[in-house]
Amino acid sequence: MATAGTLGISQTITLATTVTQITGSGQAKTITLWESDVDVYVVTSKSVADGGALPSSGRRPVAAASMPIDIDISGAGFLGLAGASAGDLHFELSP
């Protein structure tokens, strides 16, 4: 299910292995992945829909052990997040 992202507000989301669209991310240039109990995929492929299967391209894997990490998402027409398995992610969108 799509989740509304708010610039400058850190949020926690429960991820599944399918893609969760982050709405309201059009003004964001960076997503900070603060911490997660699972590895995460940042999906920017426009060929994916909310709730869709994880695509084989247009995704960036991020190991939970490498967080916190800032990822440039400027110009992405779509922003989605998926977990390698079910788990929680703490993230923030920045202008």
Domains, the chain: 14-94 (2.60.120)
Note the pLDDT of residue 25: 74
Q: List, in sequence order, every residue forming a beta bridge with 61; answer none if it has no partner.
A: 41
pTM, entire model: 0.92
Dig out the tokens for 72 from the structure. Answer: 């440039």
What are the tens digits of pLDDT across the range 43-74?
A: 988 888 888 988 888 899 999 999 999 999 99
- More reliable by pLDDT, 58 or 10: 10
R_g over Cα of the chain: 11
